[in-house]
Structure 1
């Protein structure tokens, strides 16, 4: 009774998350190229033949860059809203385009994928939870504010990808222009380390075995800083900082509060 998860890439240069079981999997977002997606999955011992669908959270390029080629090459259905299609300028084959409705589960084999709205400066932004084999995984990135939707779904998760985009002091003192700083922390941008930590410490369920910290800013955050901050409050949850340069390991998430790290192929 388990699911396998990995971050293939996480950051403003591209986001792609893999969640699957022994026979089928989904990708949430496809923000790196098809070739890079394939290379990283191969290094992890994962097969694209198990991927049965792609779910797109919103239209920003770091979430859709590879979706057209991936969908065409592997004949994958892409679950996406019409507004996200239009604002992303995507030209997917019509037969591969599937819609979804917030709070209505989509069944992909034995996996159940449920979308819910979030605060972000996009046309119809959504986050997702993926459930199967008595395990629930959350994908919570590009979130402007820790709203009740995020909190309620986070409380259901055995493992989660949670955005920790920026350190408040680094953003304040950094080189970004004022308008961009305002956008990032203005309620429809991204979660700070402090906001993410508050979600984790206040709303973490007792059975959460694993937290992958995602979408770190290159300029306004530090992986070492985030790791140290969350490790102090881990209380038995394995903390991993997802990289903007490479894939993480594959983690086997088991319902009984156990997380197993699988070895990578040589």
Structure 2
């Protein structure tokens, strides 16, 4: 299993997960033209995408979903509440998902995770391949629940929101109403919350912890890294997904250090 990102932040978010048989996109907060260009950097095109999963209806996550999926005939999976908020969705093949029930896309098992965020029916996702490698994606939630802790146990890779530093948010340029929203129970995880979450799900088999959805105005990469590094002493680097450059492909290995399938780092496959 591999993962990559087209970019993450308030200007747009999109994550890719692939195996030797399946490629899925989580969210699409970029225009179709931008997606095509960003996918090309990862040696893919929209025609390679088997499905788009949507976490919630905010523009930085859903801006390009309908246009991309209509143009390239890509099926969309999201909660019913999320899809009710999508505009101009005619002609898109949509499958509603039950947030308490896992489902399969190709050889990927997808586990939706209900999260507290100021959207209609938001969720995040944990993926598992046929070799039981697990990838967790967790952004856009205002606090950590016991349900979330249970769902993200035993992940081998984790993309984790470190949206803001509390002091930078308090003293930053946002109006007070937006500060309350971002820092509230249905907003975004701050560095300290992310570190506490990681402390509760960390284990020696965790290979990657990637920082995502970091605020350009209210955080610094060094602060986010410090909040996680104090918890995960066996991981030496904590990549930060860039808004413009995204994140290149990362492999999730089996315990013996192998992929168990042919390396296809630069192959476009369907």
TM-score (norm 2): 0.90
After superposition, give the CA deviation of every residue in 1:31-90 in whole Å (9 maximum; x if it has no partner). 112222221221122343432101101100001011112211221110022321222324
Stretch deviating more after TM superposition (252-261 or 68-77): 252-261
CA distance in 2, matches of 1:21, 1:160: 16
CA distance in 2, matches of 1:130, 1:90: 29
Q: Which runs of 4+ in 1 moved over 4 A?
A: 257-265
Matched pairs, number:
262
Which residue of the partner structure matches residue 107 of structure 1? 104
Residue 38 of structure 1 pairs with residue 36 of structure 2: yes
Which residue of the partner structure matches residue 156 of structure 1? 154
CA contact (8 A) 1:8 1:40 kept: yes
SS of the residue 2:40 aligns to: helix
Which residue of the partner structure matches residue 129 of structure 1? 126
CA distance in 1, matches of 2:127, 2:199: 22
CA distance in 2, matches of 1:258, 1:227: 25
Residue 218 of structure 1 pairs with residue 221 of structure 2: no
Residues 29/92 of structure 1: CA separation in 2 closer, same or farther (3 Å cut): farther
After superposition, give the CA deviation of every residue in 1:4-30 in whole Å (9 maximum; x if it has no partner). 101211111111000111221111111
Q: Report the Cα offset of residue 258 of structure 1.
A: 5.0
Q: Report the Cα offset of residue 176 of structure 1.
A: 1.2
Which residue of the partner structure matches residue 6 of structure 1? 4
Which residue of the partner structure matches residue 67 of structure 1? 65
Q: Report the Cα offset of residue 223 of structure 1.
A: 1.7
Residues 100/131 of structure 1: CA separation in 2 closer, same or farther (3 Å cut): same
CA contact (8 A) 1:166 1:193 kept: yes
Over the residues paired in the alignment, what is the CA RMSD in angstroms? 2.2
SS of the residue 2:251 aligns to: strand
Point out where structure 1 has 5 or more consecutive residues left out of the alignment: none
Residues 200/257 of structure 1: CA separation in 2 closer, same or farther (3 Å cut): farther
